[in-house]
Amino acid sequence: MASTGGPLHDVRIISVEQFGAGPLATLYLADMGADVIKIEDASTGGDVGRYVPPGIDRGTSLYFEAFNRGKRSIALDLHSDAGREVFHRLVAECDVVFSNLRGDLPGRLGLTYDQLKERNPAVVCVALTGYGRSGPRAMLPAYDALVQAEAGWAALTGDPDGPPTKSGLSLADYVVGLSAALATMVALHDARRTGMGRDVDVTLLDAALAMLTYPATWYLSAGHRTERHPMSSHPSIVPFQFFRTADGHVAVACPKEKFFTRLAEQLGRPEWTADDRFADFESRRQHRTELTDLLDAEFAKRTTAEWLELLTGEVPIAPVQSLDEALERDFLRERSMLVEYEHPTLGAVASVGIPIRLDGFEPMPRPGPLLGQDRDQILRDLGADEREIASLAERGAFGSASLDGPSR
């Protein structure tokens, strides 16, 4: 078993995954040492993420690398008898069968617990789908932008007079990926305790709905509808938003009364704390416009750097940075968040790591796999020799390789 010697070095995951949400889930587990074997369909060019620009080269891409470092790949045709034979041999030796597919496909491809339990009673079968494995929407594809729209995220984002706005990142994909990683480890822990696996369902829509948290509680309990406010303001805490400075923007947060007091003092406006309109959270919420108008005028007087120097350590404050500024390499290295390695076709690859620190363990990054590159080693681990591998190929187990791009 391939392993980085990490805390999950004894976990093997067979993953029928593609694009972002599913691969993100297994990326976290691979970085922690799990042996993640991607099953890819060679007839379609494998994981579609291999062909997402920019940075595409010979059947892989920088997008693919962002989600698939440290994994292994085997091309299997799960519609063929020989392909299913190999898959079932893998299932007998794995802990988890993971998939992120349209909801009807896990059952059609034989990826559910009922279909696999005779081969491995302890196997955990995780299905990350858009809308679930049953019901009228099971056959519908789901994508991040669609779910951000449907789950109410877009309606909560942006300026009040602007259109509904999607996050600049695929946050619904990432939330469901992290939810699936957690669900996988919970179910695996239970399977190792009891010797019995199970099906685990995680859906993109449900994960996005779960993130509505307090706006959902406000609405469902008290009928309160959360509205958008200018400059990415918090719906109830004021100030907790962006402000324009003389040369950019800062984010300022006052989620405790002491922070508003310090802010007023540092601005030279101590009288604000004695003003009944600004005396507490509720009064500041009711008089949001008056207070933010006053603060807008103050923050426009100095540069971002000057505000950071004045307020850092007194009031929660941060600069609104560009992507280049946020990804400054020395800063990432200081945070232990810079991942760098050499890829056989892409050359030097740099990315961000995962935000989990375990004392005594540091992930060792390895390139993501080329399509099917680990086939022979994976099969040898299962006891197959060269003659058997050749026979499986002749019987169509591995499909027909296509490195020209995804099928249309």
Contacts of 76 (CB under 8 A, 6+ apart): 39, 40, 41, 83, 86, 87, 397, 398, 399
Quote the Cα angle for 369-373-379, to 5°. Answer: 120
Contact 222/236 with Cβ under 8 angstroms? no
Radius of gyration of the chain (CA): 25
**Element at 30 (helix H, strand E):** helix 21-31
A 10 A CB-CB count for 36 gives 28
Strands 72-75 and 240-244: unpaired
Q: What letters, b where the CB count within 10 A reaches 16 and e where it falls short, cover 160-196?
A: eeeeeebeeebbbbbbbbbbbbebbbebbeebeeeee
Q: Is 31 a catalytic residue?
A: no
* Closest alpha carbon to 100 in 202, 248, 229, 251: 202
Which position among 41, 77, 173, 374 bears the catalytic label?
Answer: 173
Q: How far apart are CA 371 and CA 38, in angstroms?
A: 9
How far apart CA 39 and CA 87 sit, in angstroms, is 9
Cα angle, residue 172 at apex, residues 166 and 178 outer, rounded to 5°:
150
Question: What is the number of alpha carbons within 13 Å of residue 243 lying toward its C-beta?
Answer: 25
CB 243 within 8 A of CB 256: no
Helix (H, G, I), strand (E, B), or coil: what is residue 58?
coil
Cis (ω within 30 of 0) for the bond into 106? no
Active site members:
173
